[in-house]
Each structure stands twice: as C-alpha cells, then as structure tokens.
Amino acid sequence: MAVVILGLVSSLLYGVSDFFGAVGSRTRPAAEIAFGALVVSGVTILPAFALVDSAWSWRAVVFGALAGASAGLGVLLLYAALALGPVGFVSPVVALMCAVLPALWAFATGEAIGGWGLAALAAIVVGGVLIGLEPDAGLRPSTRTVLLTVVTGVVYAAYFVFMDATPTDSGAVPLLSDSVAAAVAAGAVVLVGCRRGRRPGRAGRREVLLTIAAGVTQGVATVLLVIALHLPGLAIVSALSALYPVTTVGLAIAVLHERLRARHAIGLLIAVAGVAGLALARG
C-alpha cells in the first residue's frame, strides 16, 4: 500500500508542477523555465539527505545521472509541448506512455503480470487512442505538438527505468546526481540558445513565482517518487504516474478555461480506470 500512496501523491504533484511550467512557458522560453524549475527542485530535495539513509556507490551516481539527463530533456520537451498545447492532449498522452513503457520493461525483465494486469494495460492503451483521436478543433494538436509529445513520453519513460536501477540503499544519492544532471542538460540548452542570439528580457515577478512553484512541487514529487521506486513494483509506480493529468488538465480547465469533449473525457476515464486496475493487480 505504501508504494501506491507514494506513487499517487508524487504523480499528482508532478501534475501541479507541469501546469505551473506550462503557464510560465507561454511567456518565456520553455528551456529557461525548465532550467529554473530544475535548479529550484534540486535545492528542494537537499533536506532528503537528513530524512533517509544514503549509501554512495557508482551505480547510484551513474544511474541517477542518466535519470537526471532524461528528466532534464523531458522537462524541456514537455514544457515546449504544453506551451504549444492543448494541455488536454499533451499531458494525458505523455502520462500514458510513462505508464505503459516502463511497465512493459518491468514485465520483459521478469516482473510478473497476470490477466488482470494485461487487461489494465489494454485499457490504458485504448484510453490513449481515444484521447489522441479527439477531433475537436479547439483541441486538435499540430504535427509538431504530436511529435514533441511522443518523444517526451519516451524520454520520461526512460527516467523510471534508470531510477529503478539505482540501489535500494542509495537513499537521496540518486536524487542529487539526478538534479545535477538534469540542471546541466537544461542549462546547456539555454546556453546554446543564448549563443544563437535568443536572449529574452528579464523575467517578471509572475514568471519567477511560476518557476519557483514548478520547482518546489517537482522536487517534493521527485523525493516521493524515488522512495516509491526503491520499493518493489516498478509497474505500479509507472502506472500511477499516468494519473498526473488529473491535476494538470483539471487546472487547465479551471484556470485556462480549456474544454474537453465527451470522447476525450471518456478516453481519460478509461485510461485512469486502467491505471487503477494495474495498481490493484500488482498491489
């Protein structure tokens, strides 16, 4: 039950973080917002060293850094895709890919699954197809948005696999190497942009606050996620990650006044049902 609770709270907090990042990326470059959020996130996780025992090892550092590089690139791509919108398409599809791909990896490497688990995965895929086929003109994504969304899903899925490979006794060590690698990856993109002449003006108070909010919620979510990944059940954690659109899309509806058509809503409900079924089947 602990892994389910940790995975669920982490997922919902990631959804809040992504919403803040998406809003900030509409008036500032996505790379800049992502870099700032990752730096704040890194500072936020430092107290974790005082809360959990942490054993240093090359495996914890290397796989944590690989996870961080995936996270850094994933945040850049996600913020860019969310900025293009619609949030109601990008957020659920990325979440579904994050649920299915690590779960398939876990099953391929020996993690058992029964009939109910397979049925739950099928429901997630069906829900994703319904979301992707949403025909409403206000929610029709561009080709660029679709490509960014798919690549983002693959990159984020790799994060789960790399972080799950860190030793169970490594505690906060992977979090530190994760944060450093993610910030370096995002910072490199920002630096390249500056050298190419894309130097945006000074960020306003609203954009700074959005970046800080995105970073803090991301940091707390990451701590909970890593604790969950050090417990048995990669498939459970990755499946629960697909629930983050509940907060991202919910905030988009409440704050940005995006609207969802029936097919989109049904697809999301089926996907969420599949995620819940997978968690129960594996729990």
Please tell me the pTM assigned to this model: 0.75
3-state secondary structure of 86: coil
Number of domains in the chain: 1
Tokens of 70: 């995936």
User: Is there a contact between 57 and 170 (Cβ–Cβ < 8 Å)?
Assistant: yes
Minimum mean pLDDT range among 25-29, 112-116, 253-257, 269-273:
112-116
Per-residue model confidence (pLDDT) at position 213: 95
What is the domain range of residue 239? Answer: 2-282
Does position 137 have pLDDT exceeding 50, yes or no? no
Least confident piece of the model among 7-16, 33-42, 137-146 = 137-146
Q: Given a cut of 70, is residue 195 above it in pLDDT?
A: no
- pLDDT tens digits, residue range 5-18? 888 889 889 889 98
Which of 19-33, 71-85, 227-241 is least confident?
Answer: 227-241
Compute the distance between CA of residue 11 and CA of residue 76 in angstroms, rounded to an integer: 18
